Every structure is written in structure tokens, then in C-alpha cells.
Chains A and B, each alone.
Chain A
Amino acid sequence: MSLATVGADLAQALRERFPDAVTGVTGDAVWVRPEAIAQVCAFLRQDPSHDFALLNAVTAVDRVEHFELVYHLTSLSRNATAVLKAAVPGREDPTLPTVSTVWRGALLQEREIWDLMGVRFEGHPDLRRILTWEGFDGHPLRRDYLEPPLPYIWPHGG
């Protein structure tokens, strides 16, 4: 974007409001503790000096030792962008709060992340698989996912 928010400034503003939430800054991205992500996002959306009304994208990156959740935000009024990242540990049941209560635009994207990456969003109203079907075995976008050997009887969808 032509007027990107510098990560350090945003981190400073967030540290003043949420003393424990920010864990670091890399480049333009601000690292936030996963438990605090919904609070931080609600603040960034509602506070008039930030006004991040548009959630561009939510995505997850499998870093093997943790899942990296990436939030791209845009402020239409200030023509600024921000990137928030959260590291969610664990491969069995990685969980963090949903931001779909802040932006409805996250509803389908978080379902997709649950389906393909297996990251669970607490408080999501309708966390079901979306691109594969209920009964599908595993989360295919994980780095350690292996395709079942053929011939394989795919489970039936509901």
C-alpha cells in the first residue's frame, strides 16, 4: 500500500493499550500472543485512530514447531495496512480465539484454515470443514500430511 503502517509504530500503540499482548516485531509484522488476538483486533477495528475496518485475509503457515496465523488488515479511511502474526504452539489441538466476531469476513476463511490446517478457532459459530467434507481424514495443507496410498476408499461425505 502507498502508506503502510510501520510495524514498530503499531507495536508501540498496542503496547500502551495491551501491555502483555505484543511479543515482538519483524519487518512490518507485529507479533501478538494468540490468546489476545481477538481483543487486539477488536481494538484496532474500533479505535478511530487505527480504524482497520477491512480484514483482507487470514491465513495460517505450518512452521512445524508452531502454526503461524497471519492477519492482513486495511484501513480504508487512512489508506494504511497492518500485518498481525500469532504463533500457535502444538500439533494435536492448536487453538486460538476467533476474529469472526470482529469481522464477519473471517467466517469462511477460518473454516478453511480449520479444514486444511487443523487450527481450531474458539468461539467460531460454525466451525465445520468447507473444502473437503466431514469425515475427511487429516488436514491436507499441513507439512506432514501424507496422501493415503491407493487404492483408498474415500469416506463418504454427509
Chain B
Amino acid sequence: MTLPTEPLVVNIGPHHPSTHGVFRMRVTLDGENIIDAEPVIGYLHRGTEKLAEERSYTQVITLTDRLDYVASMTNNQAYVLSAEKLLGLAVPERGQYLRVIAAELQRIASHLIGAGFLLAELGGFGGTALMYAFRERERILDMFEMLCGARITVSYMRIGGVFQDAPDEFWPALRRFLDDMPAYADDLERLIFGSEITLSRIKGVGVLTAEQAINASLTGPVLRATGVEWDIRKAAPYDAYDRVDFDVPTLTEGDNFARFWVRMLEVRQSLRILEQCYRDVPGGPVRATTDMLFRPEPGDAYVPIEAPKGELGFYLVSDGSIKPYRCKVRAPSFISLTVFRDLLVGWKLADGIISLGSLDFNMGEVDR
């Protein structure tokens, strides 16, 4: 005998541990199956773009920390690169290398968080993986503290370079981290490959095709997990990325497993970049000599970078004053939500939560 059922609308969030911040989703369920889903966002909207119009070019850097708060370094980097293009300012070579070191450490930290939470959302042994990921991230945050005194809201990068040179204790700490991290990454990978249940939960679930991903403007690991080899660090190298050797890992499956796995492969490539930077970092100044206030010529600039979550760019418009006339944030997390419905509809609620986690979005960046 079949029992008649009727669709049930359930609000998940805005305060729910599986929603990565204050994110609400309105899902329509038929039993356990998702038949419709809609993201409701804006709970963390702080008007960053409006605030930037009232601050000088240097002061805006502190606002960028608070966008994607698990990857502050790359937010700083995207902003200062756009501002430097607007000003036509060159960065000393040591400053460029220090930026790459900070950005790649941040990429590892962000991917660890992404992978750790993905495993946590699978339940069961989740706590272990998440704590493994946080243990390694802690060492990266300690290194950020050495660089600039802050762990999350770093504001390390400045227009024309970085805030200050790395202190003496930074380099041995980086060396120890580079020696230890490969074994840590092995541990985290074994947690996936050692578990048949985990693999069967994430393989073949939440599949995106390359056409879907490109059409929806997805970038970063989500795009590379569908087999498209596109990395802005290769396509349009910024800072010192044209002087380091690395590969762009891609997978073709486009499912939750591929999105997780491509991040773990990127961690290995980031370690490769860091090894080369540790070896090659030149001496000299870390910051160009500039005025305290900047008055760029009227015009606009957009320099996209490869942030951990995808293409991040600041579109800056100058009217010749000391404040940006317009500062638009092209946030990868916000655009990832375009495929929210495609990923969730047709799957069970428990799978939908994992698909959501595999996008690795961050509400600070979605709502801005």
C-alpha cells in the first residue's frame, strides 16, 4: 500500500551548523527527497562596497579581510593588485614573493577547512577530520601572526608591497611546516580512501558538467573538478607566479568527490610553490616607497586572482580623489550559489548538505 504524501517546505538555517554561516535555504521535501530548493541570503550583508566609497584606498584593505574570513590574505592580494594597476605601481620582488608565500599558505588553510567541514558534514567520524584540518591550519595562523600580528583579519598586504618584512622566526617555522605538511595531508587523504562508506556517499553525487559550470560563471576548484584546466595563476600570472613551477590539477567527474579531491591535489601544488619560494626569495625592500594617500588618475581597473574559492577580483573605479568611486567585489562564493538548485534537486537531503559543502562557499563573501 502506498501512503499519500504531500510536499513539505522546510527552512534550514539561518543558524544551522551545516550551512557555513548565516545562510538559509528553503527546501521543499517529498519525504527525504529534495524537489525544490532556494537560497535565501543577505543575513551578513554589511555594505562593504558602500563602506569602501567612504574610505581612502589604504583603509579599504581592512574591509577586505572581513569578506572571505577564512582566506583574508587572498582578499588583500586581489584588492591591492587592482589598486596597483589603477596607480601603475610596481612592487619590489621580495614583496611579490612574500605575497605568494602568504597567499599559498592561505590556500592550504582554506582548502583544509573546506575538506574538514565536508567530512564533518558526512557525520560519523567527522570530528576527527575536522580537528586534523584545524590542527594544521593553526600552524598557518601562527605564521600569519609572525608576519603581521593578526591571525584572521591580517591586512598584511599594502598597496605597493607588504606591511613589513618577515621576522627571523618566520623562516624556520615555514621550513618545519613544509617538512611536516605532506604527512598531514596523507593522514587526511587516508581518512577518505580508507572508508568505503565515505566514498560511496560522495562519488557520483552532485554532478556538474563543464558546460554547466562555465555557463554559471563558476571558477576555481569547482570548475577544475569538471575537467576544465583554467587557473588565473597560469592564464594571467600576477606577483611572482610566473617565476614558480606548478601544475593545475583537474578531474573530470565533477561530483562531490572530485571537488574534494581537486582541493587536496591543490594543497600539494601549493606546497611545491612554497618550497620554491622558500628557496628563491630574493633580498631587498618589501614595499615600494609611496605617498600616504593615493590619488589615481580617473579610470578603472579589474585584476582577477585565483583565490582558494575561485576567481576573486575588485573592480575599482577612480574619479581622481583619495577614495574609490566604486569598489565592486567579484566574489566566487556568491556566484557559486547560481548552481545551488541544480546541485540539490533530485537528491536526498543528506546528500544535498554535502553538495553544498563541496562548493566551499563562505557567507562573509556571499553577503559582503
Contact = CB atoms under 8 A, between A and B. Distances in A.
Interface string B208-231: 000000111111000000001010
A107 B338 contact: yes
Interface of A: 1-2, 27, 29, 53-57, 59, 61-62, 70, 72, 76, 79, 83, 103-109, 112, 116, 130-133, 140-141
Interface in B20-61: 41-42, 45, 47, 49-50
B45 A57 contact: no
Nearest to A132: B42
A62 B49 CA distance: 13
A94 to B, nearest CB: 16
Nearest to B336: A108
B24 to A, nearest CB: 11
A116 B49 CA distance: 10
A141 B338 contact: no
B50 A59 contact: no
A131 B50 contact: no
Nearest to A62: B326
27 contacts: A54-B219, A56-B304, A56-B313, A56-B330, A57-B313, A59-B326, A61-B325, A62-B326, A70-B315, A72-B302, A72-B315, A76-B230, A79-B235, A104-B216, A105-B216, A105-B217, A108-B335, A108-B338, A109-B334, A130-B41, A131-B45, A131-B367, A132-B42, A132-B45, A140-B47, A141-B49, A141-B50
B78 to A, nearest CB: 12
Interface in B310-338: 311, 313, 315, 317, 325-326, 328, 330, 334-335, 337-338
Contacts of B50: 140-141
B10 interface: no
Interface residues of B, number: 35
Contacts of B7: none
A56 B217 contact: yes
Given A56-B311, A141-B49, A1 B236 contact: yes
B238 to A, nearest CB: 10
Interface string B284-312: 00000000000000011010100000010
Contacts of A62: 326
A106 B215 CA distance: 9
A105 B215 contact: yes
Interface string B337-357: 110000000000000000000
